[in-house]
Amino acid sequence: MLRGSPFHSRTTAACQSWEWKAWSGYLAASSYSVVPYMEYYAIRHSAGLIDVSPLYKYRIRGKDAPLLLNKVVTRDVRKLGKGHIAYTPWCDERGKTIDDGTLWNLGDGGYRLTSATPNQKWLEDNGTGMDIEVEDVSEDVGALSLQGPSSRAVLRDVFGEAIDSLRYYRFARAKFDGTAVEVSRTGYTGDLGYEIWVERGAAERLWDAIMKAGANHAIQPAGQAAMDVCRIEAGLVLGEVDYAHSRTALIDAQRYSPFELSLDWAVALDKGPFVGRHALVEELRRGVARRTVGLEIDWATASRYFTDLGLPPAPPSDPWESKVPLYRGTRQVGFGTSGCWSPTLKKYIGIGTVATPFARPGTELSIEIEVEWQRHTAPARVVERPFYDPPQRKA
């Protein structure tokens, strides 16, 4: 049975569409408005408030906590300063990605790891014989993501001017109404944004405070549909869409290494032993067989398939998340995994997997599209990610 997050009383009241999705056993609003793109425009032009509480959250403590984490994630934990956050994947012994998330140095000797799937047992198994404690605080901590160019101004009204100095992928402790929270400069939209982490008992008051402060900044609650368009524009991969978590994959082809996800920058092979390192070194020696790329699909060509049938051209109103063949000539060289129409860029964009020889930006491919149950192809060019990278994201 699906359950509500710590903010459920507020998200339910705000959800006019009554469209919900299942997320890690929770009910998550797919969209609040009957016009979901209004939520997207709030994120891109003012501020959108997203409930991200269903993320798994683990607190890792003990003398050997840094040793454990350096053993299991691909980033170098020794370089993670107090108050800093790092995005990281982690791998199985075959070098395939189990999950990805954020790792926090809490500054008190402890760490926080967020993930999309349960990882407590895996962490504890890898910490056998170490002085560590892994605590699942997922149920105890609510999380809101406030994203968009006005997000800093909104939070300044809630927490004061200390927000102004918070740098990208850092966090700070703050208070509102006598309640302690953690504010991180993180998000999943590729825009200026923050995530606010609060104890369950104060969650509703936090929602109310942010919505009240945002009233003068055109704030809107935003659902999963709007966030998904934003994450594709940001070129960010999504587990179980752009890749399969290695523990749930049914066949080897569904499993991806960080290199196959084009996350080379997030792998510190020089830090010493970690789970999957040997396999990753061997993969580099052999050559990475496939890569994850950005795709720009020729909408002018695609739209003609609609007009030829007497239909108005209709770009996808919602992001698609499925495997769609990619070709070089008549040869299939990969597949798209997710895509959408970008309202900001006015382009049809996507993320896909291609054989490495075809992963260079500028490579011309074609992608299969379907119009009225008829299959066609449209040109698709490999491009750099992110598609959208506003200056305020890291400012």
Q: Confidence band (pLDDT; 50, 70, 90) for 1?
A: confident
What does the mean pLDDT of the chain come to? 97
| pLDDT per position as a tens digit, 206-240 | 999 999 999 999 999 999 999 999 999 999 999 99
Alpha-helical regions (H) of the chain: 8-14, 37-45, 65-72, 120-126, 151-159, 203-213, 224-233, 277-286, 299-307
Helix (H) or strand (E) holding 166: none
What mean pLDDT comes out for the span 382-394? 97
At 19 the pLDDT is 95
7-17 exposure pattern, b = at least 16 Cβ within 10 A, e = fewer: bbebbeebbeb
Task: Report the CATH architecture of 57-136.
Answer: 2-Layer Sandwich (3.30)
In this predicted model, what pLDDT tens digit does every residue of 125-175 receive, in sequence order?
999 999 999 999 999 999 999 999 999 999 999 999 989 999 999 999 999
Q: What pLDDT digit, counting tens, does each position of 254-274 carry?
A: 999 999 999 999 999 999 999
CA distance 351 to 18: 29
Write down the pLDDT at residue 395: 87
Residues above pLDDT 70, as percent of the chain: 100
pLDDT at res. 115: 98
Tens-place pLDDT, residues 88-137: 999 999 999 999 999 999 999 999 999 999 999 999 999 999 999 999 99
What is the rounded CA–CA span in Å between residue 216 and residue 388? 26
Q: Is 293 helix (H, G, I), strand (E, B) or coil?
A: strand
The per-residue pLDDT for range 291-347, each reduced to its tens digit, is 999 999 999 999 999 999 999 998 988 999 999 999 999 999 999 999 999 999 999
pLDDT of residue 36 exceeding 90: no
CATH number of 8-55+139-222: 3.30.1360.120
Q: Beta partners for 104?
A: 85, 112
**What are the residue ranges spanned by the domains of the chain?**
8-55+139-222, 57-136, 252-256+289-387
Q: Is the dihedral of CA 218, 149, 199, 73 positive or negative?
A: positive
Query: CATH second-level architecture of 252-256+289-387?
Result: Beta Barrel (2.40)
User: What pTM does this model have?
Assistant: 0.97
